[in-house]
Amino acid sequence: MNNIFKPERFSRLFMKFTAEQYKSYLLSLGVLMGILILGGTFMVYMMNVHMEPTIQMIFLSWVVFFSGSVFTSMIFSPLGEPKKAISVLTLPATHFEKFLVAWIYSFVIFLAVVIACFYLVVLFLLNIRHFPGPQEEVFNLFHNINGFNGSVFFVVVSLYALFHSIAFYGAICFKKLHFVKTALIFFLGIAVLIIVNNIYTGWLIHRDIIQAVPFTFLGFLEKGQPVFLNVISFVWVGQLVFLILALMLWTAAYFRLKEKQV
């Protein structure tokens, strides 16, 4: 067990990582808050956007998925620079402990901090301008969404798990431009998957298929009219697939870290 995980060593590693990174992370957080406030104020004043719960939810999803993917793709950036990689790889801690510190920072801590920041910004945006009619409320993170199996929080976490695992794997695989390269491969992969999925489902049901991301819904044309099938009782299948994919990519990332050479 000592060769995989030792609680004391892990906590020391976590403290070391925090001591060496907190300044740059706080700076990044400040930048993110600035972008959210500026972007939100622009939406409210210039575009007259009412911050309804649905808008807030979309806003939160974009913030989490985009900034989370950028942040995660840089979490292993030291491994792309030989001089930093040597100091990381020769530090006497196991690969699992090093992996776990990066995972906790980019998944758990990131989600907690960004959601907290998001609520602060939303509270600010709801109070800087009052539109006619009843005051909009801050949306409940644990509210169940229609058409999804679970609360907003569960959906955000399961989808973020997928985005995070892709960015995490890319962060270890690439030496430079982690985010750009990962995003490029991700979009190419999604495009290929959609094409293959649509050809396959079209062949299965003998209909003209409407383009859709796999494991979300099935749409086709019936006598010229679009028909969408999104069986709520099967939504969990898609979410389960995303979580399994995330687990596979996290595992692959761990083994990539073990194999990393300088």
Partner 1 sequence: MIQIKDLQFGYQKNKPLFKGLHLNLTKGHIYGLLGKNGAGKSTLLKNMAGLAYPQHGKCYFKGINVSGRPVAVLEDIYFLAEELFVPNLTPAQFVANTAYFYPRFNKADFYRYLSILDVDIDAIMDKQSFGQQKKAMIAFGLAANTGLLIMDEPTNGLDIPSKVQFRKLIASVLTEDRCIVISTHQVRDLDSLIDTLLILHNGEIIINQSIDEVQEKILFESYHDTQGLPVLYEETGPRGKNVILKNESGEYSKVDLELLFNAIIIGNQSVLQTLKASAHE
**Interface ranges with partner 1 (CB under 8 A):** 2-3, 9, 12-13, 15-16, 19-20, 23, 78, 81-84, 86-87, 89-95, 258-259, 261-262
Q: Which is nearer to partner 1, 42 or 255 (CB)?
A: 255
What lies within 8 Å, CB to CB, of 127 at 6+ separation is none
Considering the complex, what minimum distance in angstroms separates the CB of residue 9 from partner 1?
Answer: 7
Q: What phi, psi does 74 have (nearest 5°)?
A: -100, 0
Considering the complex, what minimum distance in angstroms separates the CB of residue 15 from partner 1?
Answer: 6
Tell me how far apart the alpha carbons of residues 220 and 227 are, in angstroms, rounded to a whole number.
5
Considering the complex, what minimum distance in angstroms separates the CB of residue 2 from partner 1?
Answer: 7
- Reading the block at residue 92, the tokens are 């006497």
Q: Which is nearer to partner 1, 17 or 119 (CB)?
A: 17
CB atoms closer than 10 angstroms to residue 139: 19
H helix or E strand, kind and range, residue 63:
none
Tell me how far apart the alpha carbons of residues 252 and 165 are, in angstroms, rounded to a whole number.
9
Considering the complex, what minimum distance in angstroms separates the CB of residue 90 from partner 1?
Answer: 5
Q: Which is nearer to partner 1, 81 or 136 (CB)?
A: 81
Q: Which is nearer to partner 1, 38 or 262 (CB)?
A: 262
Q: Which is nearer to partner 1, 19 or 231 (CB)?
A: 19
Considering the complex, what minimum distance in angstroms separates the CB of residue 107 from partner 1?
Answer: 23
Length of the chain: 262
Q: Which is nearer to partner 1, 23 or 176 (CB)?
A: 23
**How many CA atoms, within 13 angstroms, populate the side-chain half-sphere of residue 20?**
13
3-state helix, strand, coil in the chain (%, to 5): 70, 5, 25
Q: What phi, psi does 218 have (nearest 5°)?
A: -120, 125
Considering the complex, what minimum distance in angstroms separates the CB of residue 12 from partner 1?
Answer: 5
